[in-house]
Structure 1
């Protein structure tokens, strides 16, 4: 990998300090792609974890801006921003890593799968077991509407999940509707356990 792949912060465009320190070299860590000032704006989510869903960051103003640029302005380079944190949180997980999928029509519109790209940049192997069966998104719905959403996933054809331990991965956890629907399909298909990991934890903000 070219360790000088990014010369300027992907978020504010400030020049990055490209000097290689021995710790980064020894542990083969990922090259930095954002400056320290931008990094400090993200708020770690460390004290609200449970065994079922683990999230790395809160949905603050800086994260809202990041997510808007990444998902809705289609800036796929921003998939690099949190790759090191994702890698170190998932590299030793024993479960099968399963991204929350996009509907094919939404994938055409966005041109890339944002969750898949986060995992690719973090060098985390994954497998798709689910298909999304509706183009509806949770954004814009009230909390009550989200909680009453009909099933939005199905198992892919020929997929066998019986006895599998699965870790679902998504970008943001808000009411938990998406994770609940995915978990239900997998458990009904025979999965032994289903937990979840998300980059962001949000209060109900829509």
Structure 2
């Protein structure tokens, strides 16, 4: 029998898969805050959430760290990394909006995709050219000093770096928050520390 937590929409078994710690890595001068290294359980959970359209899962990704996020990024505005309109319509919800629903930091929608680009099917070199697929509406950045870029997964850092490149000339500071990062991004950081 599955026991459900009182204030969450997720079973205890799924909750245990999410033993999270606050961590940070730097990708080309962009601080990327994350909670867990991508693994098989996280892959299953993200698949269930995004592809099987289990919207209730979205509420648990940042749930245990909402207080920390609000304190750490007080005075920031959140910008979601863009998803294609087709994916949002197919899913029936914007996966990042649901993930950040309980985070009471102002969100601004200024990034969009020019065309449909599925990163998971691209080579590392092509992912690095993702910048040309993004558009920005800078009018909403007036009177904004600090931006927090939010995404679910950081595989190569290409999308985050593209967004960082577009946003940084218009604000004082840009950092990123993702739920999970690819293990290959962590290893070079560990080697530098040793």
TM-score range, shorter chain: 0.7 to 0.9
> Deviations for 1:98-142, whole angstroms, at most 9, x for unmatched residues?
111222233222221101111114444422121221211211222
Superposition pairs of residues 123-142 of structure 1, within 5 angstroms: 123-142=104-123
3-state DSSP of counterpart to 1:44: coil
Q: Which residue of 1 aligns with 2:25?
A: 49
Q: After TM superposition, give the deviation of residue 168 of structure 1 in Å.
A: 0.4
In structure 1, what is the Cα distance between the partners aligned to 2:23 and 2:84? 33
Per the normalisation by structure 1, the TM-score is 0.75
Question: Secondary structure of 1:171's partner?
Answer: strand
1:40 is matched with which residue: 10, 16, 20? 16
- Note the C-alpha offset of 1:53: 0.6
Q: CA deviation at 1:155?
A: 1.5
| Equivalent position of 1:198 in the other structure | 178
Q: d(CA) in 2 for partners of 1:57 and 1:68?
A: 16
- Provide the residue aligned with 1:84 in structure 2: 63
Aligned-residue offset at 1:32: 3.6
C-alpha displacement of 1:84:
2.0
Give 1 or 2: higher helix fraction.
Answer: 2
Please tell me the root mean square deviation across aligned C-alpha atoms, in Å.
2.6
Name the structure 2 match of 1:5.
Answer: none
Q: Is the 8 A contact 1:174 1:201 kept in 2?
A: yes
Residue by residue over 1:136-159, the C-alpha shift from the partner in whole angstroms, topping out at 9 and shown as x without a partner, is 121122222212335222212733
Q: Give 5+ residue unaligned stretches, structure 1.
A: 1-12, 19-30
Question: Which protein, 1 or 2, shows the higher relative CO under an 8 Å CA cutoff with sep ≥ 6?
Answer: 2
> In 2, distance between residues paired with 1:162 and 1:62?
41
TM-score by length of 2: 0.79
Structure 1 SS opposite 2:36: strand
Q: How many residues get paired? A: 180
Instruction: State the distance in 1 between where 2:58 and 2:138 align.
Output: 29
Does the alignment pair 1:15 with 2:15? no
Structure with bigger gyration radius: 1
